[in-house]
Amino acid sequence: MIDRTNRNTALASALVEELGRCGVRHAVLSPGSRSSPLALALDREPGIELTMVLDERSAGFVALGAALASGTPAVVGCTSGSAAANLHPAVVEADLAGVPLLLLTSDRPPELRDVGAGQTIDQIKLYGSSVRWFCEVGTHEADDDGLLHLRGSACRAVGETTAGRGPVHLNLSWRDPLGPEPRPDDVTAADSLALGGRAPDRPLTMPVPGSTPSEALLEAAAEAFSAAERPLIVAGRTPDPEVACAVAGLAASLGAPLLADTTSQLRFGARGTPPVVAAYDLILREAPADLDPDLVIRFGDMPASKALQAWLGRTGGPDQIIVDPPGGWNEPTRRARAVLSADAAHLATDVAERMSASAPQAWSTRWAEAEERAQASIDAVLGEQDRLTEPGIARSLSGLPAAGDQLLLASSMPIRDAEAFTRGGAQAVRVFANRGANGIDGLISTAAGLTRGANAPAWIVLGDLALAHDLGGLAALRQSPRPVRVVLVDNGGGRIFEFLPQASQVDAARFEELFITPSQLEPERVAGLFGLDYVQVDSPGKLAVEADAPDTLLHVPVDPSGNVELHRRIAAQVAEAVGG
């Protein structure tokens, strides 16, 4: 039931009540005056957990992490002015990664815009084409039409962010009084639907995504998959374990090797009989012809591996079918035969039930043998090292998180090293990465949000520059309901650039100054400033922490000299083992 204290409390409570009834469970808000009606409404809504985060940029990523882990829309709200602009980095990531993020920006009413009123910017369509839907909700009386408009806008926002796989922006204008000043005559609504919505606690309008594949699509997919003699499945980034299980089931029905990205949710946990190939990045750099498929079926985003992308995009390469949820078009090779726009879990499960072809055992065995040879080669080269290395740290991630934990991998080197060297394990671990925009901003805040969305401990692996970009996120991390373990791989700057052609094309001193840019942070002092436990790691064994340990910064200093050469030596060893 709405808060009848005044017009704003009634309108805001109607909006928030519908969000809760549509399934929103997490909201993040930064403090401000203009957003007072929103803050009061979120605070009184029993079905929504409200988290206060001082920094709007960090708040956006905390909400993003909550949406990633929970799989349901999360709200981030703020006051007017530049506060709303600081949400933009999280909006960009949510857009490109397909994360259901609801942005509720409070604003001055129209009469206070463009007249020099303080804390006022143009918030109309502030995030441009990055959002799936924008609504200037407007200023309304707390009458039947006004309350129904706020309720309906909330329902549509949830529907748009769910079906559209991305952010939605509601701009909310509030006139004074912003606080709970009693004005009993403000609320004139009489319609029971406007005042209380639908009973018992149903949304005013139920948002129902229409992504179930049709019978015709299922039959066509089953026929195409069955016709392949050497089918191969590529599983890219998806935060949904249900999709991973369905894809594993389809691979088993097809007898298809499964190239599993680190963030596919398929490297960790028992997934059945088809070989899960984790070392595909290294295998495909010099892939022998007997590993060529005649059909590639890809679920999820395209993995980060350049070797895989080049292999799929080569002239005369394998036929490809892409399965992508409605609203997406993840096909950078531009060579796919078809993009099937459908819910991935439904399609994989329903097609597997229609399969009648026998599993091509010899084909699967060739890939399983290539995987074992590649993994043995990685172990052999890393076993020769007498110090901590970046590939070795990525290798240790296979045994680091416990069952039920979450792992967030930073863009830049951590995600690439994990793709190449993290084999996975039997423990059920969910793996995430902000690979929509591939940025290194907001990562610690995202990890803090993951703990809220899943109510589970989180690990984050990042470099010193990524830490510098989100120091404010450490404050949000301290509010997390479950522990967060920050693995800081400190190689003294942006060492990914050493793998690029510029490294050999630019004078060494200029290259160091222009591209490497070390952060100069002192991690132990950073940890102390935010009340984190600090551990300096000098061996893989020291990466482990007790299950009930508090938030911890695990500082792993690594010598960057020889890192590029080590990567190349491992690649050469794998190529020799697999090609031979």
pLDDT per position as a tens digit, 520-549: 899 999 999 999 999 999 988 888 888 788
Contact 480, 408 (CB under 8 A): no
- Phi then psi for 174, rounded to 5 degrees? -125, 125
What pLDDT, on a 0 to 100 scale, did the predictor assign at position 333?
80
What pLDDT, on a 0 to 100 scale, did the predictor assign at position 358?
58
Q: Indicate the pTM of the whole model.
A: 0.92
Distances (CA, A) of 54 to 37, 472, 532: 18, 9, 19
Kindly provide the residue ranges of all beta strands, DSSP E only, lying in 327-405, ordered along the sequence. 338-341
What pLDDT, on a 0 to 100 scale, did the predictor assign at position 212?
80
Contact 249, 275 (CB under 8 A): no
- Is pLDDT above 60 for 460? yes
Q: 382 vs 501, which has greater pLDDT? A: 382
Q: 71 vs 207, which has greater pLDDT? A: 71
Give the closest residue to 194 by CA, choosing from 2, 403, 472. 2
- Is pLDDT above 90 for 285? yes
- d(C-alpha 92, C-alpha 196), whole Å: 35
Local structure of 108: helix, strand or coil: coil
Which residues partner with 29 through β-bridges? 52, 77
pLDDT per position as a tens digit, 222-267: 999 989 999 999 999 999 999 999 999 999 999 999 999 999 999 9
Please provide the average confidence, as pLDDT, over all residues in the chain: 92
* pLDDT band per the 50, 70, 90 thresholds, residue 209: low
- Is pLDDT above 80 for 321? yes
* pLDDT band per the 50, 70, 90 thresholds, residue 361: confident
Domains and CATH numbers, the chain: 7-196 (3.40.50.970), 215-372 (3.40.50.1220), 388-558 (3.40.50.970)
